[in-house]
Amino acid sequence: MYLVSACLLGLKTRFDAAGFGPFCENIITVPLEKLIPVCPEQLGGLSTPRLPSEIVDGRGEDVIKGEAKVLNSAQQDVTEHFLRGAANALYLAKLYRVKGAILKDGSPSCGSCYIYDGSFSGKRLPGTGVAAALLQENKIPVFNEQKLFPRPHNIKKDKR
């Protein structure tokens, strides 16, 4: 089993109530019965649509350590929601004993290769979002829609 960002399955969970659908092309080759859709921001209690958020002065691991915050574009502190959503995603990962998580890159929750720099100017920087970082800290591999995608032949060997 794998967690997957709900928006990659076409669910309209993004901050602007959009999704990537009906399926991300890379995800479609994974059997649906192997995928558990999660949206950490919704699991953290944020509404949809919502204002976009970015990690300020750090990355996901810094948020977990209490050394950085997540602010929305109105400069409201939504750190608590992101931490709660990450904890709920980890709970599901452990409950289902997932082999990994396939998460949407660039998101302040789900990003695994890059996130945005907190200036809301579209500037990227290497790093992970809060949920991706918490999963990785708990030894759950995080893939994304572009890279390190688990191919079907690997999944067939996976008994979980």
The binding site for ligand SF4 (CB under 6 A) comprises 5-7, 13-14, 39-41, 104, 107, 109-110
The residue among 8 and 68 lying less far from ligand SF4, judged by its C-beta, is 8
The residue among 42 and 157 lying less far from ligand SF4, judged by its C-beta, is 42
Task: Give 25's contacts (C-beta < 8 A, 6+ positions apart).
Answer: none
Shortest CB 39 distance to ligand SF4, Å: 3
| Cα–Cα dist 114/111, whole Å | 6
Shortest CB 80 distance to ligand SF4, Å: 15
∠ CA 75-42-71, nearest 5°, is: 15
Shortest CB 143 distance to ligand SF4, Å: 13
Say if residues 140 and 101 touch (Cβ distance below 8 Å): yes
Which residues are paired to 55 by β-bridges?
70
Shortest CB 14 distance to ligand SF4, Å: 4
The residue among 23 and 157 lying less far from ligand SF4, judged by its C-beta, is 23
The residue among 24 and 56 lying less far from ligand SF4, judged by its C-beta, is 24
Going by the DSSP 8-state scheme, the letter that residue 33 receives in this structure is: G
Could you tell me how far CA 75 lies from the centroid of its own chain? 21
